[in-house]
């Protein structure tokens, strides 16, 4: 099916090439500067929309709106009223999900078959946060002070939250940031990635439609060097919730020192995925392949360091490569597409650059290894699933985050030394273990320095289960009850009744 017929079948007014605005308070506005930038489909290069190029002055406007909402109507909402708003938003998200999934496919390239799969998780997240909105409470604490002295705690919203999200899951990240904000009574200034801002803007429309007061959720579009930097440094922002690269995370830590903002950082990864010879290979092959290739490898916890026991190494690596070669790469609008394009020319250059580095380091490309340029794929940022064999621990392709569909296969003999080798990375976001021996899995899981360990599976997630990293993969947690705590302050109250 041709590109034009695909586009016509999946037209949406929100991505018709026209101008979009950003949300500050109750108003959809232009940037103070009047400047705009383009959003283009990474599969075809087609113009989807033009967006306001915000800067520090726009962030200041948004922070004022968020503070006014916090101290105004939103601050008087009871827990059950916040719960009701979240439940209405969940229903609206469910009702409009196909449109939002389409926007993500158009804007960041993810196959429509994948973006539509997010419905259950994203709607479930909002309903999970709604359930917690009425369950947040302090404690009455016995103390040992002489006399009639009572002590208790209050859990209060941390305040105005600056949320900065990446382009690889724009709708999902919007939900993950907005959910705890609304459940706890905070307000938010959201900066979507400049490469994929359309679904966050459409989501903001649904937030207002759900009855969230103006100013509670604000969306300022623009670039990290201006809008993101302004959020990190703004003295009126009480907390920054950031998902993105570890380098940007370090910049945010430095910039946040002015008012000692609270931070939660979900950063990069170079996750170890370990396959023992006793594993169910029929399950482990597709599991390991999609751990690295899903979303065209643009996943922070992707299992891109594939440790394979040596006696099955050649067989297993060959099967993973064959699985990757069989995946259909193409325009995400095609329902048969399994892997879409990389997000941008910049990311294409990065991934193909690492492919060249791997070959120069002495790794062997069992499959893939170069950009796809034939037919319609020549117009987009397409690369094939790539498997490098004969990789050693110290190679750059085994240590640095590539953020593309590239897996580095590393052989191991000594299971006793495996945890040390797997932990020999500055990252610690995820890890996988494939084995039929449950004792082996239970011994290895606590030894792996990673925020999530998947055993005989990979990348499973649930609203009730927390997700986050160790080391340079950041700190703080998303999902689960722990996520709500990131958005609350604890106040102790003492009463002398004598």
User: Which H or E run includes 455?
Assistant: strand 452-455
What is the radius of gyration, based on Cα positions, of the chain?
23
User: Which residue, 457, 347, 454, 480, is CA-closest to 406?
Assistant: 347
DSSP 8-state symbol, 338: S
C-alpha 276/C-alpha 290 separation (Å) is 18
Between strands 36-40 and 47-52, the pairing is antiparallel
Of 198, 166, 193, 163, nearest to 178 by C-alpha is: 163
Q: How far apart are CA 275 and CA 117, in angstroms?
A: 27
3-class DSSP state for residue 65? helix
Token pair in block for residue 147: 């006399």
Contact 200, 219 (CB under 8 A): yes
Burial of 364 (C-beta count, 10 Å sphere; 0-12/13-18/19+): middle
| 338 to 2, 103, 110, 273, 325: CA distances (angstroms) | 17, 17, 9, 21, 11
| Options 53, 194, 266, 478, the catalytic residue | 266
Q: Around Cβ 30, how many Cβ atoms within 10 Å?
A: 15
Q: Are 399 and 270 in contact (CB under 8 A)?
A: yes
In angstroms, the CA 237 to CA 220 distance is 14
Between the CA of residue 58 and those of 187, 257, 428, what are the distances in Å?
16, 21, 35
Residues 369, 375, 378, 379, Cα dihedral to 10° = -150
Question: Catalytic site residue 266?
Answer: yes
In terms of C-beta distances under 8 Å and separation of at least 24 residues, what long-range contacts does 116-119 make, across chains too?
Answer: 118/169, 118/171, 118/172, 119/94
The secondary structure of residue 332, as a DSSP letter, is T
The count of other CB atoms within 10 Å of the CB of residue 99 is: 14
Catalytic residue among 53, 186, 194, 300: 300
Q: Tell me how far apart the alpha carbons of residues 72 and 334 are, in angstroms, rounded to a whole number.
A: 47
Query: 3: part of which helix (H) or strand (E)?
Result: helix 3-9
Name, in order, each residue with C-beta under 8 angstroms of 299's C-beta and a sequence gap of 6 or more: 168, 459
DSSP string, 253-307: HHHGGGTT-EEEEE-----EEEE-TTS-HHHHHHHHHHHHHGGGG--TT---EEE
Query: Is 300 a known active-site residue?
Result: yes
- Going by the DSSP 8-state scheme, the letter that residue 168 receives in this structure is S
Active site residues: 266, 300
């Amino acid at each position: 099916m041709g590109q034009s017929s695909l586009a016509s079948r999946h037209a949406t007014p929100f991505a018709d090439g026209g101008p979009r605005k950003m949300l500050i308070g109750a108003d959809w506005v232009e940037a103070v500067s009047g400047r705009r930038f383009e959003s283009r489909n990474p599969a075809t290069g087609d113009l989807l929309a033009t967006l306001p190029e915000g800067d520090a002055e726009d962030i200041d406007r948004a922070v004022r709106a968020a503070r006014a909402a916090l101290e105004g109507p939103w601050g008087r909402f009871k827990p059950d009223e916040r719960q009701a708003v979240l439940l209405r938003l969940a229903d609206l998200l469910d009702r409009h999900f196909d449109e939002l999934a389409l926007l993500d496919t158009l804007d960041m390239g993810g196959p429509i078959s994948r973006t539509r799969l997010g419905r259950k998780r994203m709607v479930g997240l909002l309903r999970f946060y709604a359930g917690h909105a009425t369950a947040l409470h302090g404690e009455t604490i016995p103390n040992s002070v002489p006399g009639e002295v009572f002590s208790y705690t209050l859990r209060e919203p941390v305040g105005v939250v600056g949320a900065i999200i990446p382009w690889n899951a724009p709708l999902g990240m919007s939900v993950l940031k907005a959910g705890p904000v609304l459940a706890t009574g905070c307000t938010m200034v959201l900066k979507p990635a400049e490469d994929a801002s359309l679904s966050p803007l459409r989501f903001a429309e649904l937030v207002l439609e759900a009855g969230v007061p103006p100013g509670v959720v604000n969306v300022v579009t623009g670039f990290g060097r201006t809008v993101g930097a302004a959020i990190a440094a703004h003295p009126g922002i009480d907390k920054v919730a950031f998902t993105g690269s570890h380098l940007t995370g370090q910049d945010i830590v430095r910039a946040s020192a002015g008012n000692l903002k609270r931070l939660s950082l979900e950063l990069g990864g170079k996750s170890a995925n370990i396959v023992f010879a006793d594993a169910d290979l029929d399950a482990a092959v597709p599991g390991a392949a999609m751990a690295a290739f899903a979303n065209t490898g643009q996943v922070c916890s992707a299992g891109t360091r594939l440790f394979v026991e040596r006696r099955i190494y050649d067989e297993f690596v060959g099967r993973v490569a064959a699985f990757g070669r069989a995946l259909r790469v193409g325009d995400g609008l095609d329902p048969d597409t399994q892997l879409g394009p990389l997000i941008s020319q910049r990311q294409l250059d990065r991934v193909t650059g690492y492919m060249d580095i791997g070959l120069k380091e002495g790794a062997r490309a069992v499959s893939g290894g170069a950009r796809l340029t034939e037919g319609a794929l020549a117009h987009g940022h397409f690369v094939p699933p790539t498997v490098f064999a004969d990789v050693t621990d110290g190679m750059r392709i085994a240590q640095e985050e590539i953020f593309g569909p590239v897996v580095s296969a590393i052989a191991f003999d000594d299971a006793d030394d495996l945890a040390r080798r797997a932990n020999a990375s500055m990252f610690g976001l995820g890890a996988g273990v494939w084995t039929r021996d449950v004792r082996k899995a239970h011994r290895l899981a606590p030894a792996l320095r990673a925020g999530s360990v998947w055993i005989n599976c990979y990348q499973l997630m649930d609203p009730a289960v927390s997700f986050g990293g160790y080391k340079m993969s950041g700190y703080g947690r998303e999902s689960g009850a722990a996520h709500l705590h990131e958005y609350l302050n604890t106040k102790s109250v003492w009463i002398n009744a004598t």
